[in-house]
Amino acid sequence: MAQSRVAIVTGAARGIGAAVAKRLAEDGYAVGVLDLTEDHCKDTVAAIQQAGGTALAVGADVSNADQVTAAVSKVAEELGPPAVLVNNAGILRDNLLFKMSEDDWDLVLNVHLRGAFLMSREVQKYQTEAGWGRIVNLSSTSALGNRGQANYSAAKAGMQGFTKTLAIELGKFGITVNAIAPGFIETDMTAATAERVGVDFEQFKQGAAAAIPVQRVGQPEDIAAMASFFAREESGFVSGQVIYVAGGPQD
Helices (H), 90-248: 102-109, 115-130, 150-170, 188-197, 201-210, 220-231
3-class SS of residue 174: coil
CA 229 from chain centre, in angstroms, equals 14
**Sole binder of ligand NAP in the list 4, 7, 10, 82 (CB under 6 A):** 10
For residues 116 and 159, the answer to whether their CB atoms sit within 8 Å is: yes
DSSP 113: I
CB 237, min distance to ligand NAP, A: 25
Among the listed residues 61, 55, 86, 96, the one whose alpha carbon sits nearest the alpha carbon of residue 180? 86
User: Residue 126 catalytic?
Assistant: no
Tell me the one-letter amino acid at 156.
K
- The pairing of beta strand 55-59 with beta strand 133-138: unpaired
Report how far apart, in Å, the C-alpha atoms of 241 and of each of 91, 98, 236 are. Answer: 23, 33, 12
Measured between alpha carbons, how far is 8 from 84 in angstroms, rounded to an integer?
A: 6
**Sole binder of ligand NAP in the list 26, 38, 40, 174 (CB under 6 A):** 40
Of 33-41, 48-56, 119-127, 162-170, the window that binds ligand NAP (rule: CB under 6 A) is: 33-41
Q: Taking CB under 6 A as the criterion, which residues in 212-251 touch ligand NAP?
A: none
CB 123, min distance to ligand NAP, A: 15
CB 99, min distance to ligand NAP, A: 21
Can residue 53 be called a binding residue for ligand NAP (CB under 6 A)?
Answer: no
Measured between alpha carbons, how far is 38 from 13 in angstroms, rounded to an integer?
A: 9
Can residue 36 be called a binding residue for ligand NAP (CB under 6 A)?
Answer: yes
Can residue 14 be called a binding residue for ligand NAP (CB under 6 A)?
Answer: yes
3-class SS of residue 54: coil
CA angle 161, 117, 229 (to 5 degrees): 70
- Name the residue nearer to ligand NAP (CB basis): 35 or 122: 35
Backbone conformation region of residue 175, classed left if phi is above 0, alpha if psi is from -120 to 50, else beta: beta
- Interaction mask 187-216, ligand NAP, x per CB under 6 A: xxxx--------------------------
- Name the residue nearer to ligand NAP (CB basis): 14 or 121: 14
Q: Taking CB under 6 A as the criterion, which residues in 117-176 touch ligand NAP?
A: 138, 140
CB 8, min distance to ligand NAP, A: 11
Can residue 178 be called a binding residue for ligand NAP (CB under 6 A)?
Answer: no
By the criterion CB under 6 A, which residues form the site for ligand NAP?
Answer: 10-11, 13-17, 35-36, 40, 61-63, 88-91, 111, 115, 138, 140, 182, 184-185, 187-190
Active site residues: 152
